[in-house]
Amino acid sequence: MESIIFDFNGTMVFDQKLQEKAWRTYLNKLINRPVTDEEFQNHVHGVNAKDTLEYFLHKKLTTDEVSRLEEDKEDIYRDLAKRDPDYVLVDGLEEFLDHLKRREISFTIATASNLGNVNFYFSQLPLDRWFDRNLIVYNNGTIPGKPEPDIFLRSARKLGADIKNCIVFEDSLSGIKAAKRAGAGKIVGLTSMLSDHDLIKNGATLTIENFNDPRIWDLI
C-alpha cells in the first residue's frame, strides 16, 4: 500500500464514551428528548456536526449557526477528555506510527471533527511526533460528511496518493461506507464500537481490536 489514512475518534483514541456522553448531554438540552441508539449510530458517530444538528433540529443551518452549536457541544467533550486519565492513544498505535515513519510510508488523519478539536487533540496527545498538521483533513464546512467519500478522496490527494493504494482505518458505519465509496484499497475496522460482523458486512477488509494486532503489519 502507498499511504494510510486514519480516522481519529474511536480509531486512534477510544473516546466514544466521552463523545457519546457529550452529544447526549448536549442534544437532550437542545431537543428536549433522549437520542436513540440507532440515531446515534446513523446520525452522530463519524458524521459531521452540520448533518447531525440538521437531522435533530429538522432544519437547515447556516455555517455560523453550525459553528456556534458545535462549539457548545465540543466544550462539553473537551472538559470530559481533560479529566479522563484514559484519554490516550490506542494500544500499539505509537509503535505502528514509528514503523510507518521508518518505512517512509505517508499517512494522515481524516476526521469529522472541527479545527478546534484537532488543535485540542494535538495539545493533549503527542501527535506532532508523527503528523503534519497541514496534511490533516477535518470538517471545515466545505466537505460533505461521511458516508460521502469526499474526506478520504481529499486526504489521498493531500498525500499525493491514489485512494486505491490507500489503507483506511475506521470504526464507524458511516466511515466504513465512506471509505468503500471512495474506493480505498483496504479498509481496517476497529471494533471499538461495532462487531466484526457489522464492520465486515459494511465494507471492512479486516477488523482489529487495537494496533497490537500483527496482521496490520502484513498490509504494508
Q: Are residues 65 and 131 in the same domain?
A: no
Question: Residue 138's pLDDT band (boundaries 50, 70, 90)?
Answer: very high
Q: Are residues 94 and 202 in the same domain?
A: yes
What does the pLDDT look like over 8-66, one tens digit per residue?
999 999 998 998 999 999 999 999 998 998 888 888 877 888 899 999 999 999 989 99
Q: Are residues 177 and 125 in the same domain?
A: yes
Amino acid 145: pLDDT:
87
Full domain range(s) for residue 123: 3-13+89-219
Q: Are residues 102 and 8 in the same domain?
A: yes
Q: Are residues 110 and 197 in the same domain?
A: yes
Amino acid 220: pLDDT:
84
Average pLDDT over every residue of 92-114: 96
Query: Which residue pairs from 161-167 have beta carbons closer than 8 angstroms and sit at least 24 positions apart in sequence?
Result: 161/2, 161/3, 161/106, 162/2, 165/1, 165/2, 165/3, 166/1, 166/2, 166/3, 166/4, 166/5, 167/1, 167/3, 167/4, 167/5, 167/219, 167/220
Q: Are residues 106 and 214 in the same domain?
A: yes
End-to-end CA distance of the chain: 5
Amino acid 151: pLDDT:
97
Q: Are residues 67 and 110 in the same domain?
A: no
Q: What is the CATH number of the domain that holds 29?
A: 1.10.150
Question: Residue 1's pLDDT band (boundaries 50, 70, 90)?
Answer: low
Paired with 82 in beta bridges are none
Q: How many CA atoms lie within 13 A of 181 on its CB side?
A: 14
Q: Are residues 121 and 182 in the same domain?
A: yes
Q: Are residues 188 and 122 in the same domain?
A: yes
Q: Are residues 119 and 195 in the same domain?
A: yes
pLDDT > 90 in the chain, percent: 81
Q: What is the CATH number of the domain that holds 127?
A: 3.40.50.1000
What does the pLDDT look like over 157-189, one tens digit per residue?
999 999 999 999 999 999 999 999 999 999 999
* pTM attached to this predicted model: 0.89
Among 37, 56, 82, give the residue marking a domain's end. Answer: 82
Amino acid 49: pLDDT:
87
Q: Are residues 104 and 76 in the same domain?
A: no
